Structure 1
Amino acid sequence: MPRLTDARKELRRAQIADAAVRCFGRNGLAQTSIADITAESGLSAGSIYAHYRNKAELVRAAAREVLAKRAGVLGEYAAADTPPGPDDLLALLVAAIDPAEARVGVQTWGEATTNPDIRDIVVDMTGRMRAMLHDCVTAWLVKVEHHDPDAARERAAPIAHRLMALYQAELLYVAMRTPDQEEEA
């Protein structure tokens, strides 16, 4: 049997993680089985277990997939000649919220209250997202508001914290909408 290249392994891992996000969003973390993810991905259980040891690893991968999407967008915003200000940044992030990903995020937060492995994932991912928001706000303060870089980094911290809280509130709001409400949005 031919061996998978590293690039092919990463594509397969992403395929599995995307299937997990869809299943978690549809069925919930607790109700989703590896068999559900197998069926959704179109792969064998052996293939799934060759890439992920357990469901906690799949939750971690799903969270990283979602975060990677946000990281790419936030990186582009921070690198722009005119980065968006905090209000515009929040509006852009909210407009990009996928309802299934929002449901997975909220379920993951809930699971984090009782599962230390999931808690570690949530703490790590939240910290990374806040750091990316901090970088975007710092870039805006320096490039648009013409603050000194050191002062901008300091001033950006509480702004990024509030942006993170507002973004999480919007995720909860989107996650709680019914399919009919999603269609209206």
Structure 2
Amino acid sequence: MLVFEQAESPFFLQEVRVPRLTDARKELRRAQITEAAVRCFGRSGLERTSIADITAESGLSTGSIYAHYRSKAELVQAAARATLAKRAEVLGEYARAEDPPDPDELLARMTSAVNPVEARFGVQIWAEATTDPVIGRIVTDMIGRLRLMVHDCVTAWLVRAEGGDPAAARERAAPIAHRVIALYLAELLQTALRPPAEETTS
């Protein structure tokens, strides 16, 4: 990016080079902003959190926030995608593992990784999904992805444990995956409702 400043002589302009953010740096900055937003939303709620709060939490300027997200609503949507994508990434690793966990172990790993702040934000997003079509599509899509990845994990476990036909294993895995996701979402809700004081004592 080039910016021209007036030099000492009024008849000349001095060229100043302002470094641009690379794509990788942009992604890091966006992640920094969404992570700060999730912490703020988890503490204070969607309605009571302001852009000023997120600015202070992130350590960035207000201009930097608006350079990446045009509004608080857009930031809420990005934070929802980012939070759910983190869970999907972990599940994908389990599904691709040489020794996939059985359903009980899979659920134990998923619930042990539940972050109380992210759980509180997640439950708020579920509520928003009932009235905001954009948030609704994000939540429906991401939970669908989570369910598919749990289905993949259970299918892989059945094939490895029993050595059966993958198609038959996938059919058998469907109701198991449904129960695992249901129990996981119930744990998220329970964690979100737990008073913050309990987080340090449990």
Change (3 A) 1:147 1:60: farther
Residue 182 (structure 1) aligned with residue 199 (structure 2): yes
Matched, 1:33 2:50: yes
Superposition map of 1:59-138 within 5 A: 59-138=76-155
Q: Decide whether the 8 Å contact of 2:36 with 2:58 is kept in 1.
A: yes
Q: Which residue of 2 aligns with 1:154?
A: 171
Task: Tell me how far apart the structure 2 counterparts of residues 52 and 87 of structure 1 sit (CA, whole Å).
Answer: 40
Q: How many residues align?
A: 185
Aligned CA distance change for structure 1 residues 147 and 61 (closer, same or farther; 3 Å): farther
Bigger strand share: 2
TM-score for both structures, normalised by structure 2? 0.86
Q: Aligned residue for 2:41? A: 24
**Secondary structure of the structure 1 residue equivalent to 2:85:** helix
Does the CA-based 8 Å contact 1:63-1:125 persist in structure 2? no
Aligned counterpart, 1:139: 156
Q: After TM superposition, give the deviation of residue 57 of structure 1 in Å.
A: 2.3
Percentage identity across paired residues of the two chains? 71
Letter in 2 for 1:65: A
Aligned to 1:3, the other structure's residue is in SS state coil
What amino acid maps onto 2:45 in structure 1? G
Question: Which range is displaced more, 4-13 or 56-65?
Answer: 56-65
Structure 1, residues 59-110: CA drift from partner, whole Å, max 9, x if none? 2222222223222321222222221111110011000000000000001111
Larger-Rg structure? 2
Q: Is the 8 A contact 1:111 1:119 kept in 2?
A: yes
Pair 150,182 (structure 1): closer, same or farther in 2 beyond 3 Å: same
1:51 paired with 2:78, answer no
Counterparts of 2:130 and 2:160, CA distance in 1: 39
> Alignment partner of 1:30: what SS?
coil
Contact 2:81 2:138 (C-alpha < 8 Å) held by counterparts: no
On the 8 A contact 1:84/1:140 being kept in 2, the answer is: yes
Unpaired runs of 5+ residues, structure 1, are: none
CA RMSD of aligned residues (A): 1.3
Question: Hey, what's the Cα distance between the residues in 2 that align with 1:75 and 1:120?
Answer: 21
TM-score of the pair, normalised by structure 1: 0.94
Question: CA 1:56/1:121 → structure 2, altered by over 3 Å: closer, same or farther?
Answer: farther
Specify the code of the residue in structure 2 equivalent to 1:56: A
Q: How many Å separate the matches in 2 of 1:134 and 1:128?
A: 10
